[in-house]
Amino acid sequence: MAQGLFQDQMTELPLQGHTEGVTSVAFSPDGTRIVSGSYDKTVRVWDADRGVWIGSPLQGHTEGVTSVAFSPDGTRIVSGSYDNTVRVWDADRGVTIDSPLQGHTDWVISVAFSPDGTRIVSGSDDNTVRVWDADRGVWIGSPLQGHTSRVTSVAFSSDGTRVVSGSYDNTVRVWDASRGVEIDNPLLGHTSWITSVAFSPDGTRIVSGSYDNTVRVWDANSGMGIGSPLQGHSYGVRSVAFSPDGTRIVSGSYDNTVIIWDADRGVGIRSPLQGHTAGVTSVAFSPDGTRIVSCSHDKTVRVWDAAKEVRIINNEGKSMMHMLFSTVILSIPSHII
């Protein structure tokens, strides 16, 4: 009965879109749009409610797009690419703003705006983190150096004073965003490559995901791990994010699933979200915390109801109310089916 109900609530809206794996997704600040980047070298903007893409693909990168993000006011999009560049786009017109940001000597793997939109941070396969002036397109200060392998993920703290980075050197590092120096020692605990990092909304915690199949939560000030690793994925964790209120964490994995966790208790909330047919590469909460967006190597973007309450009849015929975190409210395949 439960399985049938799950299938009945799954809505798919096939449409033409990305032609290769989707690497990164994010909601706009008002939750009305989704931006995605793909190995097909394009960035796309979607209507988050109707599941149709808005305008033409944003084209300019000469290699696959690895990371995308909206500016805090929703007027710009930043993207990073295997072509070693960072690009800033007009989110409404779909055109690049000025020239690409150049400075990294290898793939750009992760990008993010500062909370005030004046800066961009990027992480690269050249083992460095760079901070850029978002308006002038020039880097600020020297590269942030310390990682000994690929930097896979970067993010600003909510007050913009710190940057967190994760790397294939198995460490998480926290940096002073103004001075470009590392704050204290690296956060150690993961036993394999770190793929994703993020600050909690209040800046007191950091979440990280790793190829060791775990999610970890850290005290952002002391650098100490909080509780035990979050275990539930059967393969490498590719992406992590906090909910806007900081009470939940979402993770996406190469086991093709998305899991929602209680950020305080460190336990999974209900069953994993299933639907992707290949590794999940990126996850994010909507600004109001009611939806989750995910993307995958299966070339699709999916939007999930983060707290869908449905009635299920159990095997004994008794009615039970469950909070199901596995209801797809929108599925965006990257090609016409």
The pLDDT tens digits of the residues spanning 115-129 come to 999 999 999 999 999
Query: pLDDT tens digits for 96-117?
Result: 999 999 999 999 999 999 999 9
Q: Is the pTM of this model over 0.85?
A: yes
Token pair listed for 172 = 């998480």
Q: Residue 307: its pLDDT value, please?
A: 78
Half-sphere CA count of 258, side-chain side, radius 13 A: 35
- Quick check: is 43 in a domain? yes
Q: pLDDT class for 308, splitting at 50, 70, 90?
A: low
Q: What is the pLDDT of residue 246?
A: 98
Tell me: the pLDDT tens digits for 232-266?
999 999 999 999 999 999 999 999 999 999 999 99
Residue 30: inside a domain, yes or no?
A: yes
The C-alpha atoms of residue 294 and residue 300 are separated, in whole angstroms, by: 8
Task: Check: CB of residue 167 under 8 Å from CB of residue 173.
Answer: yes
Tell me if 16 is assigned to some domain.
Answer: yes
Which secondary structure element, helix H or strand E, spans residue 6, and what is its range?
A: helix 2-8
- Count Cβ atoms within 10 A of the Cβ of residue 2 and give its class: 0-12 exposed, 13-18 middle, 19 or more buried: middle
What's the rounded mean pLDDT across residues 12-24?
Answer: 73
269 vs 321, higher pLDDT: 269
Residue 337 lies in a domain: no
SS3 2: helix
Write out pLDDT tens, residues 206-240.
999 999 999 999 999 999 999 999 999 999 999 99
- Note down the domain range covering 209: 2-332
Give the per-residue pLDDT at 258: 96
Q: Is 309 in a helix, a strand, or coil?
A: strand
For 261-268, which contacts have Cβ atoms below 8 Å and span 24 or more sequence positions? 261/215, 261/230, 261/232, 263/200, 263/205, 263/207, 263/217, 266/217, 266/227, 266/228, 266/230, 267/230, 268/230, 268/232
Residue 168 lies in a domain: yes
- The predicted model gives 76-100 an average pLDDT of 98
Residue 177 lies in a domain: yes
How many domains are there within the chain?
1
3-state SS class at 5? helix
- Give the SS3 label for residue 7: helix
Residues 66, 3: Cα–Cα separation, whole Å = 35
CATH classification of the domain holding 18: 2.130.10.10
84 vs 319: which has the higher pLDDT: 84
